[in-house]
Every structure is written in structure tokens, then in C-alpha cells.
Chain A
Amino acid sequence: MSGNVFVWIEQSGGKANSASWEAVGLARRLAGELGGQVIALVFGQGVDSVAQAAFQYGADEVIKADDPSLAHYRFAPYVSLLAKLVQERNPAVVLAAASTSGREVLAGAAADVNAGLLTDVTELSLEGGKLRAVRPILGGKVLREEAIVGEGPQFATLRNRAFPAPQPDTSRSGTVTEAAPALSEDQIATKVERVEEAAGTISLTDATIIVAGGRGVGGPDGFGPVRDLADVLGGAVGASRAAVDAGWIPYEHQVGQTGKVVSPDLYIAAGISGAIQHQAGMRTARVIVAINKDADAPIFRLAQYGLVGDLFQILPALAEEFRKRLS
């Protein structure tokens, strides 16, 4: 076994998921300890610029599979290719971001090569050559420590924004190794017919700033001031389940146990009481600001800053103030 660390780089339409660079940053640290190299894996079509960026973020080698059959993410061809490359190159560690496709690809390939997998981890280290991870469980109320046992490649997926992103170094470059797909198009039963990107909006899990509204916004129009503040801050819009269930905003925006788990630098909760299931999705935010007219709302026990008052007055005042100070 080599001491090499594989990182599967997630990309879509030639644009990498920034969480993949966080994984490359961690891979550098682990490869240093193992005396190996960081090998980035880029699958897709027309992905040269992603391969170049991988060097700049810290990869020593890039294995690139550029083929129409890989143009869009699909489970079978991606899993089969990753498993094949792991068998050929026998890395010590295989990492990826714990996005929907990162979770699928690593779990599938780990099954193919019978490797241990630690998912959605927020800390990762090596002890005697074995991965040891920490991850929040039970709605983020407790941290669980998990370890890999036995020999062979060790897999882990990393929670978005739990590991620092490295600074790109534009002078770095390296060798690109070309790889062929593991499956031909006629061996792939799944076809992607249509992709509708949520245009112009910032993905909640990538966002560094989130402004979220709950039942307190009172209706679909109540998300107006929430959205305005998010726009001023270049952030994303979140919501509680109560607001989603009421049909005021689509489910993609739901934060919490049955929605998305987010870790922004700043989370502004307006008209959200702070139920335990909502906390499960946002308690790891670096700074939480709560705006609520009820001074006893549980959200104030989690927040760093609390503003008691009417969100319809406070949100526009905040937007105004930020606009002044940030311009």
C-alpha cells in the first residue's frame, strides 16, 4: 500500500464544488503524515480547468477521466471508475466532500473494494496509520468518535466548511494522468434527461451567510425582507419547517433535522423559535443572531446576539445599515 491520498473532486459543468478544495487541504496534511502524495480525481467532460485548479489547491497528481459518459454525475459509472482506480493505485486514504454525490460515490466504491467509510466527519486524524473521525449525531447534540479497523484503503467524506480551504497557489502544477471510463455508455442503465439548476441562488450548504425566516414571517410575502437582507449580504435564504410546511417557501430552503445541515459563518434567524429540530441544522454556525419578538424564545439560548423585536422593523433596518457600512 502507498501512503497516497485520493481526493474525488466534485464538479458540475466544469466548475468544482469548493468543498472539494477543503478536502484537498486535509489530504495534504494526511499525505504529509503518511509520506505519500495527494492525487486528485476529476471525472467529467471538458474538465481541464478543474484539473489545473486541483494542482493550485495542493494536488501532486491529477487523474482525469474526460468522457461524454461522465459529463453528468451518475452513480454507476462514477462508482465503478473510483473503485477501479482504488484497486489499481491502492491509496491509503480516499476523501471527498460529503455532498449528495460525494456520499453516493464514496459509499458505493467503499462497498466495491470492502473498505471502511467514515461519513460527514467534522474532524479527521491518523492514529497508527488508521483514520479516526469525529461527527455530530442525534441532531448535533452529541459528538461521536469513529475509527477504521482492519487493513486496506480507508474512506471518509467531510462535512462542508468543517475543514479550512487552502489558498490556491497559481504557480503550482503537476502531472495529469488520463484514465478511461470503467463502463461504456451501453452498460449504464441510468440516463439524465433534464437538469434544472436553482438559477442565481446560492446553495445553502456552501453559503457563508444565511438569513432564515420562520413562522414569524407570517406568509410568503414575509420572506421579502429576509431575501432583501440576504441579497445585501450576498447570502442564502433559509427557512424553518413551519414556513416550508405552510407552503411559503420551497423545501430546498429548509434548515434542520429533516432539511439541510448548514455551517455558515453567520446565521440570522428571524421569526424562528429555535425548536431542537431546527437547531440540529444550524447549531454549528460560527455566529448565530436571533431576531424574535418573544424574549423567552429558545433560539436566544443558542444565539451569540439576540434582538428582541419585530422582524419587519429590524430586518429592513439591518439591510439599510449593512448597505451603508459595506459599500
Chain B
Amino acid sequence: MHVVVVTKSTPDTEATVTVEAGGNVNWGDKLVVNPWDEYAITEAVLLKGAHGGQATILTLGGEEQQEALKHGLAIGVDQAIRIWDPALQNHDSLGYAAAVAAAIRKLGDVDLVIFGKELSDIASDQHIFQVARRLGWNMIGFVSKIESLDAGAGTIRAQRLTERGTETVTSKLPAVISVVKDINEPKYPTFIGIRKAAKAEMPVWGLGDLGLDASAVSPRTQVAGHRELPKREGTVEMIEGSPQEQAARLVEKLLEEKIL
């Protein structure tokens, strides 16, 4: 079986974020593996362990993405590939999907593609569903558990978590899935894994390697700027007294303000 996990690094959630005069956003430059992708990478390694075959980690981006690839290799993924091309500089989700789908096709024998639920920085997941569509594969989003997987028979049974509850679905492979936090406990790199990853070769595939030209990734959306949130801090009204007095005063205020 060949499982591919797709990742992208995101700013550290603790980062201080500022908006510059021109509307650009600045978070210092520290990147971490997208927290959701920790589950996706771990799941790829667990599936490989359980079913044999190989696991590949894929990313789209510049040199800053190398660390995330090494993280994947260090916990047991077999190969890492980075997709990058100057024409991808201002890509949107459709351009992303075109390039990532082409890379998955180029790998050739892929059974399952795993994404973390969303990118934690822009809280976006549209690129995942668009990759599935560009591949023409089945999509199971928000998977909390893979109940069974049979690469030989080409079937998967999984539970997915939606607003309404849990759904059990079956589908045919190849498929794309996105995974939520319930699926596993993320693995952390071992010393030996880190040493192995440091020595690994990580090829970079450009659009030419993927058989695409720049028009295939021209964006349909663009970022027009950023602004700060209206400030909320410093407005707290402390309500004092015994618990009963606190409760009575709070309820009074909430009723006055017609919150209820």
C-alpha cells in the first residue's frame, strides 16, 4: 500500500501577530508543523506499520517547509517531496490543488491521501476537497477513526465527525481523507529518526516535472490586505460579592442588556 500525507507549516499559535502599515501581516518567522497535520502524519506511519507498503510526505512551498518534511521522515515516513515553482508564489487553493494532484498522479500507485483537518493559520480546508476533485477520487472529510482498510480489495471504512454526530461510511480506494484530533496520539521523533531524516534527499518538483504550465495555477482569489481586530481588552467589569450576590448582579446585567 502507498499512503501519502500532505502537510504545510503554519505560524506558531503563540506568535505575536502585528499588521504592518501596508496591510501585510507579521508573526515573526517561527513556523511549526500545522497541529492538525501531526495527526495526519502519525496516521500515515501507523497505517504503513499495520498494512505494509510505503508512506510519502508531500508539501507545497519554499525552503521553510523542509523542517516539516524532516519531521515526517523522523517519525517513520519513507520519502519526502517538496513541490515548488516561482509560478506558485501567489497560488490560491485551486492552483494548490492542481499542483498537488499532479504530484500524487506522478507518484503513480497511491491508495490513500491524508490531510490534517485544516490549516491552523488560515483555518481553511478548501484545498483538501479540491485536491480530491482534481484527482477525481472519493473524499471522506473529518475522519475520527479508520475502522478498516484493505488496499488489496480497495476499500476503506471510517467514522467521520460532523456537527450532528458520528457517521460510519465505506468507500473505494483510492481516496482522500482529512483527519481530526480524535484519530490518534501524535508520534514524536526519536533521536535515530532525526539523524536519518537529516541525511535524506528531498527532491523538489517544479511545474515542469508535474507536466503543468503556469496557466494551470493562476489564482482565482487574492489576499487584499489585513487589519487588526477591534480591541476588546481592558473592558472587563468585575462583579464582586458573595457567590449569590455575584450571580444576582450578573443576571441583572445580562437581562438589562437583553442578552437573554
On A, residues with C-beta under 8 Å from B are 12, 74-76, 79, 99-101, 103-104, 106-108, 110-112, 114-120, 132, 136-150, 189-198, 203-206, 209, 233, 251-252, 254, 257-259, 261, 265-266, 276-277, 280, 283, 286-287, 289-290, 300-310, 313-314, 317-318, 320-322, 325-326
Contact = CB atoms under 8 A, between A and B. Distances in A.
B229 interface: yes
B247 interface: yes
Contact of B222 (A141, A149, A192): A149
A314 B129 contact: no
A32 B135 CA distance: 37
Of the candidates B94, B236, B237, B244, the one having the most CB atoms from chain A within 10 angstroms of its own CB is B236
Contacts of A110: 94, 126, 130
B112 interface: no
A317 B246 contact: yes
B19 interface: yes
A142 B227 contact: yes
B259 A138 contact: no
A194 B133 CA distance: 25
B93 A107 contact: yes
Contact of B257 (A76, A233, A287): A287
A interface: dominant SS:
mixed
Contacts of A259: 181
Contact of B224 (A74, A112, A146, A192): A146
A325 B130 CA distance: 51
Interface in B99-154: 120-130, 132-134, 138-142, 144
B interface: dominant SS:
mixed
Given A114-B220, A138-B25, A141-B17, A307 B138 contact: no
A112 B130 CA distance: 8
A114 B94 contact: yes
Given A103-B126, A141-B17, A303 B236 contact: yes
A203 B163 contact: yes
B260 A233 contact: yes
| Shortest beta-carbon contacts, A-B, top 5 | A116-B220, A317-B247, A107-B129, A107-B126, A189-B172
B129 A149 contact: no
Contact of B248 (A106, A107, A138, A321): A321
Given A110-B130, A138-B27, A314-B246, A148 B220 contact: yes
Contact of B139 (A108, A136, A233, A300): A108
Given A111-B97, A141-B17, A301 B222 contact: no
A103 B17 contact: no
Nearest to B218: A150
A220 B132 CA distance: 40
Interface string B234-260: 111111100110111011011101011
Contacts of A120: 123-124
Given A115-B220, A137-B122, A12 B170 contact: no
22 contacts: A75-B132, A75-B140, A107-B127, A108-B130, A108-B132, A118-B221, A119-B124, A139-B13, A149-B222, A150-B220, A191-B170, A192-B168, A194-B168, A197-B164, A197-B165, A251-B144, A257-B120, A258-B35, A266-B260, A307-B250, A313-B243, A314-B246
Given A120-B123, A280-B13, A314-B246, A147 B224 contact: yes
Contact of B236 (A143, A305, A310): A305
A307 B181 contact: no
Nearest to A266: B259
B136 to A, nearest CB: 10
B169 A193 contact: yes
Of the candidates A75, A99, A204, the one having the most CB atoms from chain B within 10 angstroms of its own CB is A75
A103 B17 CA distance: 27
A84 to B, nearest CB: 14
